[in-house]
Amino acid sequence: MQGYLRTAMLMAAMTALVGVFGLLLGGETGLVIALLIAAGMNLFAYWNSDRMVLRMHGAQEVDARTSPDLYRMVADLAGRAGLPMPRVYLMDTDQPNAFATGRNPQNAAVAVTSGLLRRLNSEEVAAVIAHELAHIRNRDTLIMTITATLAGAISILTNFAFLFGGRDRQVGIIGLIALVILAPLAAGLVQMAISRGREYEADRIGAEICGRPDWLASALERIQGFASRIDNQSAERNPASAHMFIINPLHAHAHDRLFSTHPSTANRVAALRAMMRQGSGFA
C-alpha cells in the first residue's frame, strides 16, 4: 500500500509540473496537450518500459541452463524476500553494475553486467542482487519508470517551446530560455530526491534479505571504484537511465556530479557498516 501511495504522490507532483509548464507555454490548450503527452507516455511506459530499458542496454535473458549459478542465486534470494522469481538478464559490459525493472513484482526483471560477475565475489554479487530485489519489493521500479517518463515529457515540452515559442509569445525570449533551462532542472531535482531516498531504503532491505550488510558495503565500494574508471557505453548513450543502476554508471565522464541521482557511496557504506554493528540478527 505504501508503494502505491508513493507512486500516486509522485505521479501527481510530476504531472502537475508538466501541466504548469504546458500552461505557461500554451495557455489552456498547452495545458491539455501537456497532460495528454504525459498520460500517453506514462501509459506506454507502464506496459513497455521494462522491455525498452533492457533492450537499451543490450540485456540478454538467461535461465537455469545458460547461467545456472546466477539463476540459482536470484531464485534463492527471491525466495528469502518473499517475491516471485523475476526474469534474469545479463548485460555484456565490463563495468560492474546492476538494475531492476518492471511494473510490479509479478512482472519484474533483474539485470546484471558481466563485469559484476567477473570482478566481484559471490557474496558481493548476492548482496547486489538482494538490493535490486528490495527495489522490486518496494515497487521502486514503477516509481523510477514514472519519474523518467514524466521527466521525458517535460523535455519534449521544452523542445516544443524552444522551436515554437510560448503562448502568443507573451512568455518572451528571456522567459522562454528560462523555461527551457529550468523545466528539465526541476524534473531532475525531483528525480534526484526520490532516487536518493530509495537507494538508502533498498540498501537496508537488501542487507536484510542477504543477511550481511557488510557484503553489500563491500560490493558498493568495489563497484564505485570500477565505475570511476570503466565506461558503461550503453549508459553513456542513455544517461536518463542512470538512476536505475545500483551505482551511478556515468562516473567515468562525470556527467552528473552536480545533481547526482545517487547518494554518496561513502555515506551508504557507513550506514551499512553501522547496521552490521548494531544488528544482532546478522551473521
Which sequence positions are flagged as catalytic? Answer: 132
How many C-alpha atoms does 211 have within 13 Å on its Cβ side?
7
- Cα separation, 282 vs 232, in Å, equals 34
Which SS3 state, helix, strand or coil, does residue 123 take? helix
- Cα separation, 128 vs 68, in Å, equals 17
Instruction: Show contacts of 157-166: CB within 8 Å, 24+ apart.
Output: 157/18, 157/21, 157/22, 157/25, 157/34, 157/37, 157/183, 158/21, 158/183, 158/184, 160/25, 161/21, 161/25, 166/24, 166/25, 166/26
- Cα separation, 158 vs 181, in Å, equals 8
Question: Cell 533498498 sits at which residue?
Answer: 202
Helices 122-137 + 172-210 axis angle, to 10: 120
